[in-house]
Every structure is written in structure tokens, then in C-alpha cells.
Amino acid sequence: MRAFFAVLVTGLLVSACCIQPTPMPTPRPTMVNGVPIPSGTPSWDAGVLLIGTTGYDSVGEFRPLMNDFTLATGLQGGGGRHVFVAFRVKGQTPGELTMTTRVTRASDGVLVGAGVQPVTFSASDAGFDSNYSPRVVLCPTPAGLSIVGQSLKFESWAQSSENGPVLGYATVTATPLCSGDCANDCGG
């Protein structure tokens, strides 16, 4: 009996060491805590990049992000709050752009959230608006940072590809507001 178990264990060890499973491709995250910030001077001569929001969904109408905004809750209703960041381009005809967005607390520059996402644009009465608004998760905040009622600095870079030159840059400061119980998630 002891010999049977020794053969069985040896067989299992040999098969485990020699069978190489096919590795799964690693998906590229669209939302990250930190992103490599593009460098260089924006190359659009007449182009202007504006940062906005679509409110509570990713495909709503562009509204400039200014003064304050209400944090949205995920569809599943669990913890965590986010903002849908929309973009408008004036003076240029963008195709698909890679948009990098970083959000920091204005008071001390501490990173709150970031994201990298390819975005397409369609003509509107005011220029070209993003067809999709990437979600940037702001809460729960890293290390329990409080952001409720504090100014946040949004910075966005437009690039023709992820490692391409910077085409446009925009920044805006706005203050998140809580609805419901989001103060628990957002350090309020």
C-alpha cells in the first residue's frame, strides 16, 4: 500500500511539473491608482481641450466640470463613488484619442484617482464631444483620505496613442458633493 501511494504521489508531481497551462493574457486596466503622466508640450496650435462630466451615466450630454459635482454610485449599489469625465475638443478634429486623467486634492496634491482610456469623438454644436465618458473612481479614497467638500484638481492629457505625443492638456478644479451615505466611503 505504501508503494502505491509513493507511485501515485510521484505521478502527480511529475504531471504537475510538466504540464504547462496556457497563460491567460493580462487585461490592460482602464482604471488605475497611478498613471505615467505624459510629458511634453501640447502640440495643438488652435485646439482646446475641455473637461466635463455627463452626470450619472457614461453617455450623457457634455456639461463643463466646474464649481461642484455630485459623486455617482456604482450600478450594483455597493460602496465606492466615481465621476464620469467627459471631454470636448474645439478647434481640432479628433479621431480616437487616448485620454489620461489624474485627480489630486488641490490642497496638498495627493493622488485621489486616475484613469487611462481610449475615447472617440463626434461633432456637436460646440465642437467635438466624447462619445463615452470614462469613469474615474474617487472613493473609497487611498488611505482613507477625506475629499468631501474639498477642492479636487482634474488634469487630462489627450494623445493620439498611449505613448504618442501630447496633443492637448486641460485642468479644472471642482468640489465633490455627497448624496446618501457616500461620506462613509469618501472620508467625510
Q: Tell me the CATH number at 165.
A: 2.60.40.2550
The answer to whether residue 59 sits within a structural domain is: yes
Number of Cα atoms under 13 Å in the Cβ half of residue 59: 0
pLDDT tens digits along 113-167: 888 999 999 999 999 999 988 888 888 766 677 888 889 999 999 999 888 899 9
Higher per-residue confidence, 1 vs 30: 1
The answer to whether residue 96 sits within a structural domain is: yes
Question: The pTM is what?
Answer: 0.77
Local structure of 2: helix, strand or coil: helix
Mean pLDDT of the chain: 79
pLDDT tens digits along 79-108: 578 889 999 999 999 989 999 999 999 999
The answer to whether residue 47 sits within a structural domain is: yes
The answer to whether residue 162 sits within a structural domain is: yes
The answer to whether residue 163 sits within a structural domain is: yes
Continuous segment of H or E residues that includes residue 122: strand 121-124
The sign of the dihedral angle between the CA atoms of 133, 134, 140, 143 is negative
The answer to whether residue 110 sits within a structural domain is: yes
Cα(166)–Cα(10) distance, rounded to whole angstroms? 58
Q: DSSP character for 59? A: T
The four Cα atoms 184, 156, 90, 30 give a dihedral, to 10 degrees, of -80
The answer to whether residue 30 sits within a structural domain is: no
The answer to whether residue 127 sits within a structural domain is: yes
118: containing domain: 43-184
The four Cα atoms 65, 172, 179, 81 give a dihedral, to 10 degrees, of 100
Q: How many domains does the chain have?
A: 1
